[in-house]
């Protein structure tokens, strides 16, 4: 069974323009845009966002694992993006999940909510 490890960072829900201009701090944080107004700074230690109504919280609800793309692709019934970097979202092995496809890596990051971790890991055998 695959082990999905906790992913740490900062989640921000804010005006899309404010997220576009956000300044993320940390050791090379990766910003994943879940939606136009929702971003997860994976590995971020802090963020500055110019939106008085922004919600900025430490995110502890996601788990992930770096895997070869072919290990994930065979469990996906939708088209993975060809252009990189890209974040793709949908059911993987019948479980809601996300895939971060960085630009120069052979492996991709499989991301799921912690609540779905055991189910997803079990289905990826």
Whole-number Å distance between alpha carbons of 80 and 86: 9
- Nearby residues of 60 by Cβ (< 8 Å), 6 or more positions away: 6, 8, 114
What are the extents of the domains in the chain? 5-60, 63-123
Question: What sign does the dihedral 86-90-94-95 (CA atoms) show?
Answer: positive
> What does each C-alpha distance from 56 to 3, 61, 110 come to in angstroms?
28, 14, 23
- For 73-82, write each residue's pLDDT tens digit: 999 999 999 8
- For 29-62, write each residue's pLDDT tens digit: 999 999 999 999 999 999 999 999 999 999 999 9
- Reported pTM: 0.91
């Amino acid at each position: 069974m695959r082990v999905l490890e906790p992913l740490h960072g900062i989640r921000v829900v804010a005006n899309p323009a404010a997220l576009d201009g956000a300044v993320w701090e940390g050791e090379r944080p990766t910003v994943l845009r879940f939606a136009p107004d929702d971003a997860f700074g994976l590995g971020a230690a802090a963020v500055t966002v110019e939106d008085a109504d922004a919600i900025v919280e430490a995110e502890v609800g996601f788990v992930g694992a770096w895997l070869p793309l072919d290990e994930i692709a065979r469990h996906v019934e939708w088209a993975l993006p060809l252009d990189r970097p890209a974040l793709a979202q949908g059911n993987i092995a019948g479980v809601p999940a996300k895939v971060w496809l960085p630009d120069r890596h052979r492996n991709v990051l499989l991301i799921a909510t912690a609540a779905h971790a055991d189910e997803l890991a079990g289905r990826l055998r």
